[in-house]
Amino acid sequence: MRPLHARNGSGTGTAVKSCILCGRCLEVCPLVSATGREELSPKAKHTLARMLREGQAQLEGRRVADLAGLCLACGRCEKACPQGLCAPDAVAELREAHPDLSQWLWKQWIEKGGALWPALAWLSRRLPDSGEQPSPRYDAFKTMGSGPSVAPFLKVSRFVDAGIGREAVIFPGCTARRLYPAWTRRAKELLAGLGLRVGNRMPSWACCGCTLGHAGCTEAQREAQLANVKAWRKAGRPLVVTFCATCRCGLRSYPDADLGWEEGEGEQWREAVISLAGPMAAVEIEHVSEPPPAVYYHKPCHGSGQAGSGADEALLRRALGERYAGATGDVCCGMGGIMQLGAPELSRQVADTLWTRLDPPAGSLVLTGCSGCVLQLKATAPVGVAVGHWLETFAASAG
């Protein structure tokens, strides 16, 4: 299966297939279901891209940038479209052709975030509220850098050799590296228990490039991809273990880009990128303390449907038994990367749709396996509902 967001020429590039206006994408687009606004639909985006491409429409650059900013890059439309058209690709190309401030800011955020993220988090927690309405723009920032709010209640009681017997490196992704380093420490302990050899030195990873691509920063995306492939080669081509669905999706799409691969090396890379939950499928798990009364799992949009994408949920379902309250349904959290900066109120509307449908009781816990989803869910969760990465539920002791 072609991975999501492989540039397929559905935007302003060479058109391979056209939109046939069937409307199937309207049924799956979280922006349409949260707002009822058909002008935000994938169909409308492809129509806009085609009209601009064919010179049928002349839009002022700022207006194009505004429209192009209104996509969560969840990839649901591509899976529903009989033509295989991918709105994030079309939108990324529009953004690339019409860069704006949000795009620039997102690029700075991703590339220089080591200094910027904690500063933004610190600053936004100290900003006075501007009025009666909470500002969704700052909601996501306020949760950044806040420590894990989940007290561990699970422990691996018996590791089962995953049988891989290889060197492994962790790809933590930008959020874990900058805001939640404890996730990486926990992942390292779990991998050691599984018998994988994880060295003390982390390769010099860059961003996975996924959100940079969605923002239309294709040059920066390519630079990040090249840096990561170089780091992997230097490390001896080990397994690359991720615990972020967006990173995994982004990394696994590398072989579709021209990154100077040697013969067979692209497929070797794709096979090397695995989810942490995959090799944990057979471990035995015990409860070290009482779990919350209801624990939900939020399924990330990125990479859903790809092989191995269900491993996180399967692990939790098995570990939690009757405390597992189910998945949050097939509903996007509304994180949307660059859209957080350009249209935070729409992002918030999508999140509110999720929480209204789920209606979790106070005291419940929502876990996920995507760093971006953690940020968005933490920022929008109803009072009394905790949110975290599933890694936070495992106690530190590996044995």
Residues near ligand SF4 (CB under 6 A) are: 19-25, 28-31, 42-43, 45-46, 71-77, 80-83, 85, 87-88
| Token pair belonging to 343 | 């249209």
- Taking the C-alpha atoms of 110, 114, 120 and 123 in order, what is their torsion angle to the nearest 10 degrees? -170
CB of 268 to ligand SF4, least distance (A): 30
| CB closer to ligand SF4 out of 30 and 148 | 30
Q: Which of 146, 10, 32 is nearest to 87 (CA)?
A: 10
* Segments in 127-180 forming alpha helices (H): 136-143, 173-178
DSSP 226-293: HHHHHHHHHTTS-EEEES-HHHHHHHHTGGGS-S-PPTTHHHHHHHHEEETTTTTTT-EEEESSPPPS
Cα separation, 263 vs 244, whole angstroms: 28
CB of 41 to ligand SF4, least distance (A): 7
* Residue 56 burial class via C-beta count within 10 angstroms: exposed 0-12, middle 13-18, buried 19 and up: exposed
| CB closer to ligand SF4 out of 9 and 382 | 9
CB of 5 to ligand SF4, least distance (A): 9
Strand ranges in 119-238 using DSSP code E only, listed in sequence order: 154-158, 167-171, 197-198
| CB closer to ligand SF4 out of 4 and 196 | 4
CB of 215 to ligand SF4, least distance (A): 13
Contact status, residue 76 vs residue 30, Cβ threshold 8 Å: yes
Cα separation, 43 vs 14, whole angstroms: 18
Amino acid symbol at 190:
L
CB of 162 to ligand SF4, least distance (A): 34
CB of 270 to ligand SF4, least distance (A): 23
CB of 358 to ligand SF4, least distance (A): 19
> Largest alpha-carbon pair distance within the chain?
65
